[in-house]
């Protein structure tokens, strides 16, 4: 641990908020929150903990740079493993951090294993838990993220939501409405923050030793990401999806940004031969500014990522989600997202419509305005002060 040393907070002084990040989609959510906590008057003291769930330079360090995230005060370096191993290891290594820093609360974002693991450790030690991006539900309990969402929301003390339906989901599950605050979408704060510095698709292709001229096409290009176990962990499913993508690539060149899990599986299953490199460029995981640039320039994005569904809506770019469900229904109802599942005809039909200029234009959902993190900091400060004062008077009474 290389963070500030343990000390008692002076009377009335707020103890640090431990902000947890673990995996790639956490970084763009936490960056604006840290900025807003620092900018709040008075500032909220923060300690940044990285669990190390994602550890590659491409999956972690580069995003820290692009999002101007500070170096974590503590890195738990848990790395990969089965869900049980990864979750247990985060819990085991996180507990001493709470003992050392006596935080005012633990703030977690999203739905990855690190989110649930740290929330669970905190709540059992009597430390309040704040969950940012609460209440999203796919109603598909085979998704590990859905389990992480449900359980984190059940034990969180303060829950910040990104869309109004999230509060309905929470209330149905017995969460008291006065714990929930509709704050908007911090992911979109990052889109607005990074947009001006996004790298061009041309530069990104060139940096990956791909000739951008080959991918210059009157219809533009499509951007693909796939990493959900349900799409990439089974030979037949992955083979079928690569087959459909190859068909799409005959009318629109594709840039496929590969998650390590997906690359490993394509190689392990011997499926590389399904990819024609003249029509489908394979890229390693990209930085935040590269991904923003690729998405902003795309004619269509094909993905199974939760984050990309929201980012494309913010950018006004049509998105085809290769899943049967989404925990982010507002991107379908108001944004540019269409659920196409893994159905060949649905995917090809939707791409055809988009290439014919009939793609969804969408609009920005309520409070996706770049100010969500500020609203969260403004709400959290008095809430924490109040809790801390209540705890102090309780211990005096004892």
Instruction: Determine, following the binding rule CB under 6 A, whether residue 311 of this chain makes contact with ligand UD1.
Output: no
Among 100, 1, 104, 9, CA closest to 49: 1
Binding part of the chain for ligand UD1, among 48-56, 123-131, 246-254, 349-357 by CB under 6 A, reads: 48-56
The CA-based dihedral angle spanning residues 172, 173, 178, 183, taken in that order and rounded to the nearest 10 degrees: -80
Q: Which of 15, 18, 24, 381 binds ligand UD1 (CB under 6 A)?
A: 24
Rounded to whole angstroms, the Cα distance separating 79 from 168 reads 35
At 263, list the tokens: 């690359």
Q: What is the nearest approach in angstroms of ligand UD1 to the Cβ of residue 23?
A: 4
Q: Which of 108/367 has CB closer to ligand UD1?
A: 108
Rounded to whole angstroms, the maximal C-alpha distance in the chain is: 74
Determine which helix (DSSP H) or strand (DSSP E) holds 132, and give its type and residue range: strand 129-132
**Structure tokens of 184?**
């908007």
- Nearest 5°: the CA angle 85, 86, 89 is 80
Q: Which is nearer to ligand UD1, 24 or 279 (CB)?
A: 24
| CA 320 centroid distance within chain | 18
Q: Convert residues 175-214 into a mask of x (bound to ligand UD1 by CB under 6 A) and - (unbound).
A: ----------------------------------------
Does the footprint of ligand UD1 cover residue 149 (CB under 6 A)? no
So which residues are the catalytic ones?
227
**Binding mask 77-96 vs ligand UD1 (x if CB under 6 A, - otherwise)?**
---x----------------
**Nearer residue to ligand UD1 within complex by CB, 201 or 308:** 308
Would you count residue 73 as binding ligand UD1 (CB under 6 A)?
no
Which residue, 55 or 383, is less far from ligand UD1 as judged by CB? 55
Residue 233 binding ligand UD1, by CB under 6 A:
no
Q: Which of residues 284-303 bind ligand UD1 (CB under 6 A)?
A: none
CA 221 vs CA 96, 211, 372: distances in Å? 48, 14, 31
Cα(189)–Cα(367) distance, integer angstroms: 10
- Distance in angstroms (rounded) separating the CA atoms of residues 104 and 119: 13
Tokens of 88: 């247990």
Q: Is 56 among the residues that bind ligand UD1 (CB under 6 A)?
A: yes
Contacting residues toward ligand UD1, per CB under 6 A: 23-25, 53-56, 59, 80, 111-113, 144-145, 227, 259-261
């Amino acid at each position: 641990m290389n963070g500030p040393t343990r000390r008692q907070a002076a009377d009335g002084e707020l103890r640090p908020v431990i902000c947890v990040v673990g995996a790639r989609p956490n970084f763009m959510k936490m960056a604006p929150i840290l900025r807003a906590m620092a900018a709040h008057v008075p500032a909220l003291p923060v300690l940044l903990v990285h669990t190390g769930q994602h550890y590659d330079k491409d999956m972690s360090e580069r995003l820290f740079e692009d999002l101007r995230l500070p170096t974590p005060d503590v890195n738990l370096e848990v790395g990969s493993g089965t869900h049980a191993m990864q979750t247990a290891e985060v819990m085991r290594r996180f507990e001493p951090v709470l003992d050392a820093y006596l935080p005012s609360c633990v703030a977690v974002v999203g739905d990855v294993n690190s989110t649930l693991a740290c929330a669970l450790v905190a709540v059992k030690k009597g430390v309040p838990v704040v969950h940012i991006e609460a209440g999203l539900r796919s109603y598909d309990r085979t998704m590990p993220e859905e389990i992480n969402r449900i359980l984190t929301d059940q034990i969180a003390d303060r829950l910040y939501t990104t869309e109004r339906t999230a509060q309905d989901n929470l209330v149905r599950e017995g969460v008291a409405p006065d714990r929930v605050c509709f704050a908007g979408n911090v992911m979109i704060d990052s889109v607005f923050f990074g947009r001006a510095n996004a790298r061009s698709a041309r530069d990104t292709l060139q940096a990956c030793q791909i000739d951008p001229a080959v991918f210059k096409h009157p219809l533009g290009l499509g951007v693909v990401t796939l990493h959900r176990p349900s799409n990439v962990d089974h030979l037949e499913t992955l083979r079928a999806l690569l087959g459909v993508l190859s068909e799409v690539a005959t009318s629109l060149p594709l840039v496929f940004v590969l998650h390590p899990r997906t690359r490993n599986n394509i190689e392990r299953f011997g499926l590389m031969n399904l990819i024609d490199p003249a029509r489908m460029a394979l890229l390693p995981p990209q930085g935040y500014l590269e991904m923003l640039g690729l998405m902003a320039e795309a004619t269509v994005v094909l993905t199974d990522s939760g984050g990309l569904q929201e980012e494309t809506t913010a950018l006004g770019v049509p998105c085809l989600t290769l899943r049967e469900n989404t925990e982010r229904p507002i991107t379908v109802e108001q944004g540019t997202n269409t659920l196409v599942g893994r159905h060949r005809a649905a995917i090809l039909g939707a791409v055809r419509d988009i290439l014919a200029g009939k793609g969804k234009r969408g609009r920005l959902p309520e409070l996706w305005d770049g100010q969500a993190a500020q609203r969260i900091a403004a709400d959290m400060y008095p809430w924490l002060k109040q809790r801390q004062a209540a705890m102090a008077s309780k211990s005096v009474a004892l």
